[in-house]
């Protein structure tokens, strides 16, 4: 049976709860990622922060980001003020504390099911609670399509 | 888990051609491009030998996905800090007709302080599950050897073994007050350390003695094609392995170090570890990559290594 370790991308790119949002935005942008794990000082996963969390930190909660007229709700000085505040805010203020993890030695079907049920694109993989990589939909699909089955 | 640190990684770009005509139009017969830099080479070699290894350092630009993808394919876990600079390229011109290899190295870009701070934090986190850390290679522009000293001190605080695989000018500035497990000076450019010529047997003994006095546990000095002196406070070993005429020398030194680390961590026997290291170096020289072809080939080649206790 295929395991999560067969599909893992062994990358530990992550941020901590005290990382400024400005730095998160830079990492996501430089790496072209939609979200990354949040870890503590021992590389244990404590949350997840995504580009969506960043966008919602900039714009008021009541404004839906899908609304193309979003800027119209705020005048320019309000936007600048908000951006300055957000730039200095920390990951812990905006991250999702509910994070779905999979163990490295878990069956691959577990992560596939989790991704489908929770509509997740990337899932952190852990060993002894420490981050060892991520599984993403693209690599999971690619390997499954190449091999045709979990078995 | 072993962590390798490369502050100034590069793509190693190999150009194979019969001979180069300086100042004229040249067409290469084939090329190979792969992730490089001393820490990266050690990481790849260790992964080929079956170690769990994480490569960290500073990486940036459009080449990142290719660079990291190639490392992961070999089995190296990546944990880089992303910077707003492109990855440099080192060119190796291999002239088959003259059996000559020329290295042209790009200097690294300037790095902003905030990226160095992020790297230090990331390094601290990695130390929590590391058994050994290897720091290798040159420094980007404006980064002081003192930064390496800070990393070494952080590892010392967490009692994680440190291997320094650095050029002599950087080493001389950062080894005092630290206790590295292994020092493998990169003397390709200087050919000397503490003003002593590496090609003199007497000087090699003096260099080893001085580095041991500073606080290192093991000294590895390369001289000649693939000749080594390995010394501790208790014993000194000399070793060599014959290379084929058309060997590609890129990454060979780092493969020897990786092989040595791999064997020594399993069984603390200096002579056997040196032999294994030489086997890994021979396998790397036999490949057109900067790491050994395989563990199997390393273990076949190590039979050709000649090592003897000399002190």
B165-198 per-position pLDDT tens digit: 999 889 988 888 888 999 999 887 778 888 888 8
Q: What pLDDT is attached to residue A12?
A: 96
A96: domain CATH number? 3.10.580.10
Handedness of CA B31, B36, B41, B45 (dihedral sign): negative
Is B75 inside a domain boundary? Answer: yes
Neighbouring residues of B174: CB distance < 8 A, sequence distance ≥ 6: B145, B146, B148, B149, B152, B164, B166
Neighbouring residues of B258: CB distance < 8 A, sequence distance ≥ 6: B41, B42, B45, B46, B49, B277, B280, B291
Mind giving me the DSSP string for A87-119?
HH-BHHHH-BS----EETTSBHHHHHHHHHHHT
Query: Domain span at residue B129?
Result: 2-8+38-86+109-309
**pLDDT one digit per residue (tens) for chain A, 151 residues:** 788 888 899 999 999 999 988 888 888 888 888 899 999 999 999 999 988 888 777 665 544 545 555 555 555 566 666 667 776 789 998 899 999 999 999 988 888 888 889 988 899 999 999 999 999 988 777 766 766 655 5
Type and span of the H or E element at B227: strand B227-231
Q: What's the gap in Å between the CA of B4 and the closest CA on chain A?
A: 14
Is B94 inside a domain boundary? Answer: no
B275: domain CATH number? 3.40.1190.20
Q: How many domains does chain A have?
A: 1
B9, B18 in Cβ contact below 8 A? no
Q: How many domains does chain B have?
A: 1
Handedness of CA A41, A47, A53, A57 (dihedral sign): negative
Is B92 inside a domain boundary? Answer: no
Output b/e per residue, A84-117; b: 16+ Cβ within 10 A. eebeebbbeebbeeebebbbbebebeebbebbee
* Region for residue B191 given its phi and psi (left: phi exceeds 0; alpha: psi -120 to 50; beta: otherwise): left
CA nearest B60 in A: which residue?
A: A30
Is B44 inside a domain boundary? Answer: yes
Taking contacts as CB-CB distances below 8 angstroms, the residues of chain A near B76 are 10
Write out the E strands in chain A: 15-16, 35-39, 45-50, 102-103, 122-127, 130-136
CA distance A91 to A22: 9
CA nearest A44 in B: which residue?
A: B125
Q: Which two tokens stand for residue B122?
A: 């990331």
Taking contacts as CB-CB distances below 8 angstroms, the residues of chain A near B65 are 32
Neighbouring residues of B128: CB distance < 8 A, sequence distance ≥ 6: A41, A42, A43, A130, B158
Q: What is the interface size between A and B, counted as CB pairs within 8 Å?
A: 50
Asked if B124 is an interface residue toward chain A (Cβ–Cβ < 8 A), one would say: yes
Is B244 inside a domain boundary? Answer: yes
Query: Domain span at residue A57?
Result: 4-147
Helix/strand/coil percentages in chain A, nearest 5: 45, 25, 35
Could you give the ipTM of this predicted complex? 0.86
Taking chain B (311 residues) in consecutive chunks of 10 residues, what is each chunk's mean pLDDT? 97 95 94 96 97 96 93 96 93 92 89 94 96 94 92 95 93 87 87 85 90 92 91 94 88 96 91 96 93 96 93 82
Subunit contact A43:B118, Cβ cutoff 8 A: no
Nearest to B128 by CA among B154, B101, B99: B154
Q: Which of B57, B82, B111, B131 to mutate against chain A (most A CBs within 10 Å)? A: B82
B115, B147 in Cβ contact below 8 A? no
Subunit contact A16:B121, Cβ cutoff 8 A: yes
CA distance B178 to B171: 11
Nearest to A79 by CA among A55, A96, A53: A55
Subunit contact A26:B82, Cβ cutoff 8 A: yes
CB atoms within 10 A of CB A120: 17
Q: What pLDDT is attached to residue A150?
A: 54
B34, B290 in Cβ contact below 8 A? yes
Q: What pLDDT is attached to residue A78?
A: 64
Is B91 inside a domain boundary? Answer: no
Tell me the residues of chain B between 75 and 114 that have a Cβ less than 8 Å away from chain A: 75-80, 82-84, 114
Is B32 inside a domain boundary? Answer: no
Q: Which two tokens stand for residue B35?
A: 């992730």
CA distance A8 to A133: 6
Q: What's the gap in Å between the CA of A110 and the closest CA on chain B?
A: 23
Q: Phi and psi for B224 in degrees, rounded to 5?
A: 65, -160
**pTM for the full predicted model:** 0.90
């Amino acid at each position: 049976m295929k395991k999560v370790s067969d599909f893992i991308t062994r990358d530990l790119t992550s941020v901590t709860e005290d990382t400024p949002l400005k730095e998160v935005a830079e990492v996501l942008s430089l790496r072209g990622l939609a979200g990354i794990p949040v870890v503590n000082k021992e590389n244990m996963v404590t949350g997840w922060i995504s580009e969506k969390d960043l966008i919602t930190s900039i714009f008021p909660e009541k404004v839906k980001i899908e609304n193309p007229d979003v800027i119209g709700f705020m005048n320019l000085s309000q936007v600048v003020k908000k951006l300055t505040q957000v730039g200095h805010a920390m990951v812990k203020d905006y991250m999702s504390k509910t994070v779905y993890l999979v163990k490295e030695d878990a069956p691959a079907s577990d992560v596939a099911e989790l991704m489908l049920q929770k509509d997740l694109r990337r899932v952190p993989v852990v060993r002894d609670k420490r981050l060892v990589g991520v599984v993403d939909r693209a690599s999971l699909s690619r390997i499954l399509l190449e091999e045709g089955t979990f078995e | 888990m072993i962590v390798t640190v490369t502050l100034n990684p590069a793509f190693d770009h190999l150009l194979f051609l019969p001979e180069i005509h300086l100042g004229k139009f040249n067409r290469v017969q084939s090329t190979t491009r792969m992730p490089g830099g001393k820490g990266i080479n050690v990481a790849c070699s260790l992964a080929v030998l079956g170690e769990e290894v994480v490569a960290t350092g500073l990486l940036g630009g459009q080449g990142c996905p290719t660079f990291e993808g190639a490392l992961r394919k070999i089995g190296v876990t990546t944990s880089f800090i992303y910077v707003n600079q492109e990855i440099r390229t080192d060119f190796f011109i291999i002239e088959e007709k003259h059996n000559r290899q020329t290295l042209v190295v790009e200097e690294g870009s300037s790095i902003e302080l905030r990226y160095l701070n992020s790297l230090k934090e990331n390094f601290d986190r990695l130390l929590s599950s590391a058994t050994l850390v290897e720091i290798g290679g040159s420094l980007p522009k404006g980064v002081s050897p003192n930064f390496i000293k800070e990393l070494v001190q952080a590892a010392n605080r967490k009692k994680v073994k440190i291997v320094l695989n650095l050029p002599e000018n950087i080493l001389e500035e950062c080894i005092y007050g630290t206790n590295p497990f292994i020092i493998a000076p990169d003397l390709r450019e200087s050919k000397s350390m503490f003003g002593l010529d590496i090609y003199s047997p007497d000087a090699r003994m003096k260099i080893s003695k001085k580095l041991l006095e500073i606080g290192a546990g093991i000294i590895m000095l390369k001289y000649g094609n693939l000749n080594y002196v390995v010394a501790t406070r208790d014993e000194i070993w000399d070793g060599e392995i014959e290379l084929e005429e058309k060997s590609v020398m890129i990454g060979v030194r780092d493969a020897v170090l990786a092989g040595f680390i791999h064997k020594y961590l399993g069984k603390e026997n200096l002579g056997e570890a040196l032999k294994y290291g030489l086997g890994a170096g021979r396998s790397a020289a036999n490949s057109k990559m900067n790491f050994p072809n395989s563990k199997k080939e390393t273990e076949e080649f190590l039979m050709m290594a000649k090592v003897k206790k000399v002190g």
